[in-house]
Amino acid sequence: MPQNAHPQTLAPSLALIEELAHEAVANLPEPWRGPASQVVLRIEDFASDEVIEAMDLNDPFELTGLYEGIPLTEKSTADQVMQPDLIWLFRRPILDEWCERGDVTIGELVTHVLVHEMAHHFGWSDAEIAAIDPWWE
């Protein structure tokens, strides 16, 4: 069945969330687009139990995204790279927020979550985030 056959009855898949996240990266303004494309994107339904516990969360629906890495503002050329920087997007909490809001598209919400996580990677201020994602203001 085509992906858009019943858009009002089928929840966006992990693959669609990943596609929207990659589109959001591709639409970032320069000079951010290139470095952002080096961050690995991972899409899961929920954060792992270990992450939920480490963040002292009571509900896995509280976490829509997570940045794992060393922000560019804290990296040194002397650092040995141990693992790539990662951004995790969690589909079920994103879908839950999307349904609760009802006033944004799934693409807008995925972009919003991705930009927020990229802000951790780039060390952006609130003003820089708002310039890239005005919906976030």
Domain boundaries defined on the chain:
14-136
CATH 1.10.150.240 for domain 14-136: no
When mean pLDDT is compared across 7-16, 25-34, 66-75, 90-99, the lowest value belongs to 7-16
How confident is the model over 82-121, as pLDDT tens digits?
Answer: 788 999 999 999 999 999 998 999 999 999 999 999 998 9
Q: Which of 22, 19, 25 is nearest to 3 (CA)?
A: 19
CB 91 within 8 A of CB 113: no
Give the global pTM.
0.85
Strands 86-90 and 65-68: antiparallel
Confidence at residue 5, expressed as pLDDT on a 0 to 100 scale: 46
